Amino acid sequence: MDDLDFIGYTCPVPIRPTDTVVLGHGSGGTLSRDLLNRLFLPELGKAAPRALDDSAVVVMDGQRYALTTDSHVVSPLFFPGGDIGRLAICGTVNDLAMSGATPVALTCGFVLEEGLSFDILQQVVKSMQDAAKEAGVYIAAGDTKVVQKGGADKLFINTSGIGKINDGINISGANAKDGDVIIVSGTIGDHGIAVLSARENLGFETKLESDVAPLNRLVQAMMNAGEIHVLRDPTRGGLATSLVEISEQSNVTIELDETTLPVKPAVKAACEMLGFDPLYVANEGKLVAFVKENDAEKILGVMKKNNYGGDAAIIGKVIGVGKAQVRMRTAIGGTRWVDMLPGEMLPRIC
Amino acid sequence: MKYVDEYRDPAQVKALLGEIGRVVTHPWKLMEICGGQTHAFLHHGLDDMLPGGIELVHGPGCPVCVTPLEQIDKALMIAARPEVIFTSYGDMLRVPGSTVDLFNVRAKGGDVRVVYSPLESLKIAQANPDKRVVFFAIGFETTAPPNAMAVLQARQRGIKNFSVLVSHVCVPPAMEAVLGSKHNRVQAFLAAGHVCAVMGYHEYPPLAEKYKVPIVITGFEPVDLLRGVLAAVKQLEAGKAEVENAYERAVTFEGNQPAQKVMGTVFQPVDRKWRGIGMIPQSGLGLRPEFESLDAETRFSVGEIVTQESPLCIAGEILQGLKKPPQCSAFGRKCMPQSPLGAPMVSAEGACSAYYKYHRDVIYG
């Protein structure tokens, strides 16, 4: 064999900035943020305060309201533990609750593909009603559009919502403080893996269910128990992406303890097989809270008594200000950096 | 979780680190072949816990990274055709070709689908008889047997609308290329445990002997990795150069013979260009002539592709272990996972992506 001179060999030409939207722009990670910063915010966000929380805060006659909107495009429409209808209600209720608001009313817009069966639509609507009842909100307005076959994938639902923020509540991704204790409300990654295994028919032996749930009552109980600085529901992009966002918004250093992260064995096993990290897998019924150190145990106790907080756990702390960074103390005693999800999460090859 | 937690046991890790510390008296450079091992070292923060003198040199065992640009450009051309459903392991979708990646092809209307097994591609072919289904058969000896099985089954079941774009590579010739380079700085190998689970390690004794280099078959969990490091360091300290199996629970000398048989039935050794490295003789697997009708390259007559590599990315040196990602001026600045300049920043097994994910403190402090 000729002696290979490796010096000078190079990798590919830089890929051109994409001129089209790719699925990764909807992943909730870095690409989503690029789209927001490059296109939407400069054009549409000029007048709005740039909090970039799960919902916006608008003030009318001195009263603060939380306002948010979310579109739901899940496939399959029905998955273990939930369906697009429950997802559409819970997603918006939770976004409102993460501002400390009491959700009041929702709107819903349906985009229906020609040929969708009434039976399916009926089931979805029933599920929406059940979820709304559980959350204590009502559907105040709606809209329906039908597109021709192929113009949408069966059924898309947009929900918007409004909630009232009571005096004295000040919860935002920008409010993390030095010494804050970080609590997650339960096992992470359940929703993403449940939907993935249903969609791809992965045939895992254990039945995994999505965690999709309205969290507003849990939030109310937590607020009654102690001082909360940050709340976020780590949906697309997973817990890691939410924590990186919060570290940047508040300019704080976060340290996590890998051994304390609650992960169901089935989710852990699926992630090990597929090459995923549960930190980046979507949740739909979980929240992460940054709370005042002295109140942490009390808030955790209240969470554990709630239907949707039984597996709540303290997972880390804010260990400094002035440097936006998330670090993980690994189970074996090492340290690594935790980053956002860059684009779509892809299964590894071998 | 059984079969995982016991190999991430902090007490065992501590004990092994202690033992390595007691054994080592010289600085040594060990290359972990597999990108999965690189990621495991960094994911667990294990690289920083090793005794000072031991340097890990990250090897070329990242299938996505070394798949040549020509093959990716061929994939992009085939995937863009309206009559094609192009199927691939997910990790390949973000790898840049000369102009775009498979995500962009999909965004412009190409039917590009992620599959978890090549047998899924066969199902897609059967369910879509009016389409031509292509599977991107890449990877090392780990993915070659299932990919060969898909080819065999397509033949046996008479699935005519299925073909494969093959770009398989093999580990031992790459190790020899590293050792034979005049710039080589590798003193011992942690051989890729998963590849050895398939191939065994009967290919390694001649390499160990010829280049006087210890080769230790090594797994992927922290305890496995440290056992590999310990065995390699012990040999180096003792002046030995032997092949040793530190991944006994998964690897035998002979390997998985039914898997090797399927591979041998479908594939034969071919010269293969490695992205970022160059042509390595007999380092790849291609379809045997009797399976030519299942070869996407002949079916779609993609012909010669002219590619252009850029001087910005130092992937070749990274894949050879000559440099580490933070030594690249583009690392973390111009080159990031969402806008990679080179494949090692893309892949779940690429060294640059491992450093970016777990070790960005090296540039940002």
For the stretch B105-161, pLDDT in tens is 998 999 999 998 899 999 999 999 999 999 999 999 999 999 999 999 999 999 999
Q: Which of A332, A335, A344 faces B10 most closely, judged by CB atoms?
A: A332
Mean pLDDT of B305-333: 79
Structural domain span for residue B222? 5-64+172-245
In A275-314, the residues whose Cβ lies within 8 Å of chain B are: 275
Q: Is there a contact between B107 and A21 if contact means CB atoms under 8 Å apart?
A: yes
Question: What single-letter DSSP state applies at residue B306?
Answer: -
Residue A64 distance to chain B (closest CA, Å): 37
Each residue of A294-349: pLDDT tens digit?
A: 999 999 999 999 999 999 999 999 999 999 999 999 999 999 999 888 766 666 66
Please check whether residues B60 and B74 belong to one and the same domain.
no
Mean pLDDT of B314-328: 84
Question: What single-letter DSSP state applies at residue B339?
Answer: B
pLDDT over threshold 80, residue B309: no
Mean pLDDT of A205-224: 92
* Interface check B87 vs A, CB under 8 A: no
So what's the pLDDT on residue A346? 64
* Interface check B325 vs A, CB under 8 A: no
CA–CA separation, A102 and B184 (whole Å): 64
pLDDT tier at B83 (50, 70, 90 boundaries)? very high
Q: What are the sequence ranges of the domains in chain A?
A: 51-165, 173-337
| ipTM for the assembly | 0.79
Question: Which residues of chain B does A22 touch, with a Cβ-Cβ cutoff of 8 Å?
Answer: 103-104, 106-107
Q: Is there a contact between A12 and B275 if contact means CB atoms under 8 Å apart?
A: yes
Q: Which of A11, A16, A200 faces B342 most closely, judged by CB atoms?
A: A11
Look up residue B230 and give its two tokens. Answer: 């310990």
Question: Which residues of chain B does A32 touch, with a Cβ-Cβ cutoff of 8 Å?
Answer: none
So what's the pLDDT on residue B364? 53
Please report, for residues B9, B140, B199, the alpha-carbon distance to residue B268 in angstroms, rounded to integers and kept in the order given.
Answer: 42, 13, 15
- Residue in chain B nearest A27 by alpha carbon: B338
- Contacts with B158 (C-beta within 8 Å, 6 or more apart), sequence order: none
In A83-122, the residues whose Cβ lies within 8 Å of chain B are: none
Please check whether residues B103 and B129 belong to one and the same domain.
yes
Question: Which residues of chain A does B320 touch, with a Cβ-Cβ cutoff of 8 Å?
Answer: 6
pLDDT tier at B315 (50, 70, 90 boundaries)? confident
So what's the pLDDT on residue A348? 64
Whether the CA torsion B308, B313, B315, B317 is positive or negative: it is positive
More confident residue, B322 or A115: A115
pLDDT tier at A23 (50, 70, 90 boundaries)? confident
Beta-strand pair A78-79/A82-83 = antiparallel
Q: Is there a contact between A268 and B1 if contact means CB atoms under 8 Å apart?
A: yes
Considering the domain A51-165 in this protein, what is its CATH number?
Answer: 3.30.1330.10
Tell me the sheet residues that pair with A290: A182, A230
More confident residue, B304 or A283: A283
With tokens 């070394």, the residue in question is B66
- Residue B214, CA atoms < 13 Å, CB-side half-sphere: 26
**Picking from A6-10, A320-324, B44-48, B97-101, which range would have the lowest pLDDT averaged per residue?**
A6-10
Collect contacts of B124-128 with beta carbons under 8 A, ≥24 apart. Answer: B124/B85, B124/B87, B125/B85, B125/B154, B125/B159, B125/B161, B125/B162, B126/B159, B128/B85, B128/B161
Instruction: Determine, yes or no, domain membership for B268.
Output: no
Domain end position, chosen among B245, B277, B307 = B245
Judging by beta carbons within 10 Å of its beta carbon (0-12, 13-18, 19+), is residue B158 exposed, middle or buried? exposed
Total structural domains within chain B: 3
Closest CA to B275 of A9, A2, A3: A9
Q: Is there a contact between A344 and B93 if contact means CB atoms under 8 Å apart?
A: yes
Question: What single-letter DSSP state applies at residue A51?
Answer: -
**Picking from A233-242, B24-33, B326-335, which range would have the lowest pLDDT averaged per residue?**
B326-335
**H or E element at residue A199:** helix A190-199
Instruction: Determine, yes or no, domain membership for B337.
Output: yes
So what's the pLDDT on residue B52? 87
- Residue in chain B nearest A275 by alpha carbon: B348
pLDDT over threshold 90, residue B202: yes
Mean pLDDT of A117-122: 97
Q: Is there a contact between B348 and A349 if contact means CB atoms under 8 Å apart?
A: yes
Please give the torsion angle defined by the CA atoms of residues B176, B57, B97 and B112, in that order, rounded to the nearest 10 degrees: 100
* Interface check A203 vs B, CB under 8 A: no
Please check whether residues B185 and B332 belong to one and the same domain.
no
The phi and psi torsions of A174 (rounded to 5 degrees) equal -90, 5
Residues of chain A with pLDDT > 90, as a percent, come to: 74
* Interface check B200 vs A, CB under 8 A: no
Question: Which residues of chain A does B183 touch, with a Cβ-Cβ cutoff of 8 Å?
Answer: 5-7
Each residue of A268-303: pLDDT tens digit?
A: 999 988 888 999 999 999 999 999 999 999 999 999
pLDDT over threshold 80, residue A84: yes
pLDDT over threshold 70, residue B175: yes
pLDDT over threshold 60, residue A225: yes
Instruction: Determine, yes or no, domain membership for B331.
Output: yes
For residue B16, what is the domain's CATH number? 3.40.50.11750
**Is-contact B181 A4, C-beta < 8 A?**
yes
Please check whether residues B73 and B25 belong to one and the same domain.
no
**H or E element at residue B23:** helix B10-23
Residue from A3, A4, A5, A11 whose CB has the most chain B CBs within 10 Å, to mutate? A11
**Is-contact B94 B103, C-beta < 8 A?**
yes
Residues of chain B with pLDDT > 70, as a percent, come to: 96
**Picking from A10-19, A48-57, A83-92, A286-295, which range would have the lowest pLDDT averaged per residue?**
A10-19
So what's the pLDDT on residue B301? 80
CA–CA separation, B314 and B345 (whole Å): 11
- Residue in chain A nearest B117 by alpha carbon: A349
Closest CA to A288 of A212, A187, A190, A213: A187
pLDDT over threshold 60, residue B279: yes
Please check whether residues B92 and B154 belong to one and the same domain.
yes
Instruction: Determine, yes or no, domain membership for B339.
Output: yes
Question: What single-letter DSSP state applies at residue A54?
Answer: S
Q: Is there a contact between B45 and A11 if contact means CB atoms under 8 Å apart?
A: no
pLDDT over threshold 70, residue A120: yes
Tell me the sheet residues that pair with A105: A138, A162
CA–CA separation, A209 and A223 (whole Å): 28
Please check whether residues B157 and B93 belong to one and the same domain.
yes
**Picking from A245-249, A337-341, B193-197, which range would have the lowest pLDDT averaged per residue?**
A337-341
pLDDT over threshold 60, residue A4: no
So what's the pLDDT on residue A289? 98
CA–CA separation, B125 and A191 (whole Å): 30
Mean pLDDT of B321-338: 84
CA angle B248, B249, B253 (to 5 degrees): 45
- The mean pLDDT value of chain B amounts to 91
So what's the pLDDT on residue B156? 96
* Interface check B310 vs A, CB under 8 A: yes
* Interface check B275 vs A, CB under 8 A: yes
CA–CA separation, B49 and B18 (whole Å): 10
Please check whether residues B34 and B84 belong to one and the same domain.
no
Q: Is there a contact between B181 and A336 if contact means CB atoms under 8 Å apart?
A: no
So what's the pLDDT on residue B207? 97
Question: Which residues of chain A does B182 touch, with a Cβ-Cβ cutoff of 8 Å?
Answer: 3, 5
Please check whether residues B184 and B147 belong to one and the same domain.
no
Please check whether residues B52 and B75 belong to one and the same domain.
no
Residue B362 distance to chain A (closest CA, Å): 10
* Interface check A10 vs B, CB under 8 A: yes
**Is-contact B263 B152, C-beta < 8 A?**
no
Q: Which of A13, A34, A332 faces B310 most closely, judged by CB atoms?
A: A13
Question: Which residues of chain B does A26 touch, with a Cβ-Cβ cutoff of 8 Å?
Answer: none
Mean pLDDT of B322-328: 87
pLDDT tier at A33 (50, 70, 90 boundaries)? confident
pLDDT tier at A9 (50, 70, 90 boundaries)? very low
Please check whether residues B91 and B209 belong to one and the same domain.
no
Mean pLDDT of B332-344: 80
Largest CA distance in chain A: 80
pLDDT over threshold 80, residue A79: yes
Considering the domain A173-337 in this protein, what is its CATH number?
Answer: 3.90.650.10
Question: Which residues of chain B does A23 touch, with a Cβ-Cβ cutoff of 8 Å?
Answer: 103, 106-107
* Interface check B93 vs A, CB under 8 A: yes
DSSP alpha helix (H) spans, B157-300: 171-180, 193-199, 205-211, 222-238, 257-266, 296-299
Question: Which residues of chain A does B309 touch, with a Cβ-Cβ cutoff of 8 Å?
Answer: 9-13
Mean pLDDT of B189-210: 97
pLDDT over threshold 60, residue A58: yes
Q: Helices A84-97 & A118-135, crossing angle to 10 degrees?
A: 30
Please check whether residues B141 and B176 belong to one and the same domain.
no
CA–CA separation, B64 and B275 (whole Å): 9
**Picking from A83-87, A296-300, B213-217, B302-306, which range would have the lowest pLDDT averaged per residue?**
B302-306
* Interface check B316 vs A, CB under 8 A: yes
pLDDT over threshold 70, residue A13: no
Question: Which residues of chain B does A16 touch, with a Cβ-Cβ cutoff of 8 Å?
Answer: 99-100
Instruction: Determine, yes or no, domain membership for B272.
Output: no
**Is-contact A98 A233, C-beta < 8 A?**
yes
So what's the pLDDT on residue A336? 93
Closest CA to A83 of A50, A118, A121, A45: A121
For residue B153, what is the domain's CATH number? 3.40.50.11740
* Interface check B250 vs A, CB under 8 A: no
Instruction: Determine, yes or no, domain membership for B259.
Output: no
Please check whether residues B180 and B60 belong to one and the same domain.
yes
